[in-house]
């Protein structure tokens, strides 16, 4: 789907092998974290709407780090999508799918990666024109074997598995033909955030380039 910033869900997935899943509790962390990830070559940043500070953090990143491509994660309603767009989000990620989330993101011109864990959910997304999907929670919902099984009936769907993906197992996921990228929280460890160890986060981001040369 074309958007006002010409970004598609596929482009969000193709930019790097990993979309970092970010949980921010302190607005002071937002800008240095975004800069640390950018320094490591990661531009697509998924800030989850899980904390009261999420929206102000997104606003700070949008204002001060315009080279980052800000996304909102944990979008659970049309209102979440609207608030995220107002805060500067340019894409959205949801842990599940409803038609109202899909409609809101369509109306807001926000590319959406909706979460699916069953064939029926994939069919619902396809009915609404969505073929780039987040497989969530990926490890718990069936792991790589599930995506291999889906590649038959849902051969045109491309996935971003998220949930239980780590630096150690990411290559296995990325080797699957229907996986474009993975999502994961390992790039932003809570202890590194807490002590402002931005250099460690940049190093973790840089490590993901090896994943690209290994497969995607
Ligand atoms: C989440 O919603 O927290 C993501 O799925 C991240 O999961 P992870 O911590 O297993 O990477």
CATH 3.20.20.70 fits 9-215, yes or no: yes
Q: Which atom of ligand 1 sits closest to the CA of residue 164?
A: 10
Averaged pLDDT for residues 165-188 = 96
Task: Please give the pLDDT value at position 211.
Answer: 85
Where exactly are the structural domains of the chain?
A: 9-215
Find all residues with CB under 8 Å of 26, minimum gap 6, and list them. Answer: 53, 193
Task: Please give the pLDDT value at position 210.
Answer: 79
Top-confidence residue, 47 or 5: 47
Q: Which atom of ligand 1 sits closest to the CA of residue 95?
A: 2
Q: Are 211 and 170 in contact (CB under 8 A)?
A: yes
Q: 6, exposed or middle or buried, with CB in 10 Å at 0-12, 13-18, 19+?
A: exposed
Q: Please give, one letter per residue, the 3-state secondary structure of the chain.
A: CCCCCCCCHHHHHHCCCEEEEECCCCHHHHHHHHHHHHHCCCCEEEEECCCCCHHHHHHHHHHHCCCCEEEEECCCCHHHHHHHHHCCCCEEEECCCCHHHHHHHHHHCCCEEEEECCHHHHHHHHHCCCCEEEECCCCCCCHHHHHHHHCCCCCCCEEEEECCCCCCCHHHHHCCCCECCEEECCCCCHHHHHCCCHHHHHHHHHHHHHHHHHCC
> How far does the centroid of ligand 1 lie from the alpha carbon of residue 164, in Å?
6
Q: Which atom of ligand 1 sits closest to the CA of residue 136?
A: 5
> How far does the centroid of ligand 1 lie from the alpha carbon of residue 20, in Å?
9
Banded pLDDT at 175 (limits 50, 70, 90):
very high
Tell which residue, 78, 56, 58, has the closest CA to residue 69: 58
Does ligand 1 have an atom closer than 6 angstroms to the CB of 169? Answer: no
φ, ψ of residue 188 in degrees (nearest 5): -130, 75
Does ligand 1 have an atom closer than 6 angstroms to the CB of 21? Answer: yes
φ, ψ of residue 34 in degrees (nearest 5): -60, -40
Does ligand 1 have an atom closer than 6 angstroms to the CB of 184? Answer: yes
Asked whether residue 4 carries a pLDDT value surpassing 90, the answer given is no
Q: What is the pLDDT of residues 18-28, one digit of tens each?
A: 999 999 999 99
Does ligand 1 have an atom closer than 6 angstroms to the CB of 164? Answer: yes
Task: Please give the pLDDT value at position 216.
Answer: 59
Averaged pLDDT for residues 109-138 = 98
Task: Please give the pLDDT value at position 2.
Answer: 37
Q: How far apart are CA 112 and CA 130, in angstroms?
A: 8
Q: What is the pLDDT of residues 70-79, one digit of tens each?
A: 999 999 999 9
Output the pTM of the full model.
0.95
Banded pLDDT at 209 (limits 50, 70, 90):
confident
Asked whether residue 3 carries a pLDDT value surpassing 50, the answer given is no
Ligand 1 pocket mutation pick from 22, 162, 191 by most atoms within 8 angstroms of CB: 162
Average model confidence (pLDDT) for the chain? 95
């Amino acid at each position: 789907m074309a958007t006002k910033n010409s970004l598609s869900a596929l482009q969000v997935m193709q930019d790097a092998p990993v979309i970092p899943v970010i949980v921010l509790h302190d607005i002071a962390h937002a800008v240095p974290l975004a800069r640390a990830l950018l320094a490591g070559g990661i531009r697509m940043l998924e800030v989850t709407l899980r904390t009261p500070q999420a929206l102000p953090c997104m606003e700070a990143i949008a204002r001060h780090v315009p080279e980052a491509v800000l996304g909102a994660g944990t979008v659970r309603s049309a209102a979440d999508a609207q608030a995220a767009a107002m805060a500067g989000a340019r894409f959205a990620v949801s842990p599940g799918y409803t038609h109202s989330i899909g409609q809101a993101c369509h109306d807001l011109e926000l590319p959406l990666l909706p979460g699916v864990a069953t064939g029926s959910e994939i069919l619902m997304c396809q009915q609404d024109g969505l073929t780039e999907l987040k497989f969530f929670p990926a490890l718990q919902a069936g792991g790589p074997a599930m995506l291999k099984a889906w590649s038959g009936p849902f051969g045109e769907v491309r996935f971003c598995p998220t949930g239980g993906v780590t630096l150690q197992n990411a290559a296995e996921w990325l080797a699957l033909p229907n996986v474009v990228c993975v999502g994961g929280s390992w790039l932003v460890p809570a202890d590194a955030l807490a002590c402002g160890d931005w250099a460690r986060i940049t190093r973790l981001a840089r490590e993901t380039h090896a994943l690209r040369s290994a497969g995607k």
